[in-house]
Amino acid sequence: MKIINRLIFLIVIAAGLYGFYYIQYGGNPVDRGDKYLKKMKYDKAISEYLKEIENRKNEKIEPDNELLLKIADTYEKLEKYESAIPYFKLILKRKKDHLQAQFGLAFNLYKGNFKGAKKEFNDLLRLVPSHSLGNYYLAKIFLGNENYSSALKHLKMAKDTDDSNIEIYKLISIIYKHKKNIEAGIDICEEGIKINPECSELYSNLGFFYILDKEYEKGRKECNTAIGLDYKSAQARHHLGLCCFGTKLIDAAEKQFEEALKNREDYPLPHYMLGIIEFQKKNFKKSLEHYEKALEIVKEHKKTKNFYYSPELIPSIKKGIESIKKLKSSR
């Protein structure tokens, strides 16, 4: 009797565990995939969705767009952008004006194929010209190609639709830095700071515009605010270094440029400024090292379409290198 009771007890436990598992992960593969997705178990979710694709294939049933979109979105969450792209394309083959798929295709191409992404974002904006994220990402592509006018145009369109996206203000301020448009730069930074008073980058850029206008005390104040918000901000350190350099505090400037490079090694501007300082100190070997490193980074930024690419820096760096080579050859 004891053995029978124990068997009954084990059967009840097993049934309970099965019931619990079924509630959590039971049902068809799509239901299980959805539950895994909610728990952010993306690998398991994609596995279940693909099982459903296989089941429907065996039954000669075409997968619906909802399932295809789930697969594409889950691959995107896994950062497997190449795997997501065919599913977005299949949806668009069936329904050309599917906005979610159109944006998804453009965004996933953006992660590795700027040319393809540009075409798809343009197709998206033909459907919805005011699409904020479509305009934002297209602007980033233009910015990477040094087409500042087109980038600014699309960023303004993105801002008109969604003025809460702080990244838009950052990119607009970068464009005004390239253009050295002080008044517009100050305005966009101040506008963005009102939306996010803890955005270190906008305080740093605001400081830069004041420094460009030779209002060094205002520049110093904004740069220090930026550093207070983000102690490791390489950009704020660099801008503070420019402020010190502009007020002839060369040792303090050197320290800030070195701090900037500790926080971000692939930053050409501090290398360039340290090249100038070492040249002034007649440390020509060190000066040349900094100039050459700055040039190497700028060229790499151009290749990777880095938003902090500074093409205007190249002639100045080359001029510095030539000055040192002339001095060496005259000795």
pLDDT single digits (tens) 215-249: 999 999 999 999 999 999 999 999 999 999 999 99
Q: Is the model more confident about 14 or about 136? A: 136
Residue among 115, 120, 127 at smallest CA distance from 104: 120
Q: Is the model more confident about 183 or about 22? A: 183
Confidence of residue 11 (pLDDT cuts 50, 70, 90): low
Q: Is 30 a residue whose pLDDT tops 90?
A: yes
Q: Is 156 a residue whose pLDDT tops 50?
A: yes
Ramachandran region of residue 233, left (φ > 0), alpha (ψ -120 to 50) or beta?
Answer: beta
Report whether 240 contacts 256 (CB < 8 A): yes
Which two structure tokens, joined as six digits, stand for 18? 């099965």
Confidence of residue 326 (pLDDT cuts 50, 70, 90): confident
Which two structure tokens, joined as six digits, stand for 239? 């801008």
pTM of structure: 0.85
The domains located in the chain, with CATH, are 34-39+64-160 (1.25.40.10), 168-253 (1.25.40.10), 265-331 (no CATH)
- What's the confidence (pLDDT) of residue 19? 44
Average pLDDT over residues 114-118: 95
Q: Is 8 a residue whose pLDDT tops 70?
A: no
Least confident window among 4-13, 50-59, 90-99, 205-214? 4-13
- What's the confidence (pLDDT) of residue 2? 56
**Whole-number percent of the chain with pLDDT over 70:** 90
Average pLDDT over residues 292-296: 94
- What's the confidence (pLDDT) of residue 310? 75
Average pLDDT of the chain, as a whole number: 91
Q: Is 281 a residue whose pLDDT tops 50?
A: yes
Contacts of residue 14, defined as CB under 8 A and 6 or more positions apart, other chains included, come to none
- What's the confidence (pLDDT) of residue 25? 45
Average pLDDT over residues 74-89: 97
Average pLDDT over residues 74-103: 97
